[in-house]
Amino acid sequence: METSFIPLCATIAVLIIAFLFASLPQVSHKTRYRVLYAIAIIMLLAVIPISEYMIGSIPNSNSNYLLVLIFDIAVGYFCMYIAALLKFNVLKRKNQALEDALAEKQQENVAILLEHQNEKQQALQQKELEWLAGKIKMFTEEEQKAILASALSFAEHDLIVAPSISIQPKDECSQQELMYFVCSTFFNMGKKRSDIVSFLYKVFPLYFPAGESALAKKMPGLERVKERREKEEQAKK
């Protein structure tokens, strides 16, 4: 019994030291799991000298011999388990830091992309509204401002707001011309055909007395409008 007491006490002491070392907050996780791995290996390798010591000291092997060896192996595996947990926490923190950095970088890239897209969209909107403004010079100054205000609201916020005044039909601007001006402007902004129909009917109701459904049938398609716009641009050059 006395012979088995010495290695048993040494094993318990190692267990206590390993537990206390693993709980030290001032020591880094990396250092703790490395030391615990070393202790685990030492404890597992200590099975051989402990076995030889106890066999040489105890002529008749008893249950204490096996209990000490089992306890020594259990302490070794316990230290290895704690070391693995600490290492896992280290890797988890590194992965989390990497994920956070990637997420932050991705958010920055998305913000830059959105800003670039917004600037590009705003430039396109300004260009198209300026083109529309040049096409509606036959209307009075007050009517032009009202039309462009409604066009700006539709372009920026997809809101179709009726102008504050009634837009009177002009001989210099037919239904077909008006539809071309408005469709070309908003097709280039990516607006839907149905929304453009609603814009035309709400902003220019006197031009389309037959109603919105009749207007939808008369309105030219994207390809036709695009072709006419390209011909105009080529003619200017």
Per residue in 80-89, pLDDT tens?
Answer: 777 777 777 7
Closest by Cα among 145, 140, 217, 212 to 173: 140
What are the two backbone dihedrals, phi and then psi, of residue 172, each rounded to the nearest 5 degrees?
Answer: -75, -10
Q: Over 80: is that where the pLDDT of 135 sits? A: yes
8-17, 76-85, 180-189: which range is least confident on average? 8-17
Q: Determine the 3-state secondary structure of 140 from DSSP.
A: coil
Residue with tokens 């220019």: 204
Mean pLDDT on 185-207: 93
Query: Which residue ranges make up each domain of the chain?
Result: 2-95, 114-236
For residues 123 and 206, which has the higher predicted lDDT (pLDDT)? 206
Q: Over 80: is that where the pLDDT of 218 sits? A: yes
Give me the half-sphere count of Cα atoms (radius 13 Å) on the Cβ side of residue 26: 0
For residues 57 and 35, which has the higher predicted lDDT (pLDDT)? 35
- Beta-bridge mates of residue 170: 173
Report the chain's terminal Cα–Cα distance, integer Å. Answer: 108
For residues 155 and 96, which has the higher predicted lDDT (pLDDT)? 155
Output the pLDDT for position 86. 74
Mean pLDDT on 61-67: 58
pTM exceeds 0.75? no
Q: Over 70: is that where the pLDDT of 109 sits? A: no
For residues 94 and 130, which has the higher predicted lDDT (pLDDT)? 130
Q: How confident is the model at residue 52 (pLDDT cuts 50, 70, 90)?
A: low
Output the pLDDT for position 92. 78
Output the pLDDT for position 195. 93
Q: How confident is the model at residue 1 (pLDDT cuts 50, 70, 90)?
A: very low
For residues 219 and 235, which has the higher predicted lDDT (pLDDT)? 219
For residues 212 and 30, which has the higher predicted lDDT (pLDDT)? 212
Output the pLDDT for position 2. 47
Distant-in-sequence contacts of 138-145, Cβ < 8 A, 24+ apart? 138/170, 138/172, 138/173, 139/167, 139/168, 139/170, 139/173, 143/167, 143/168
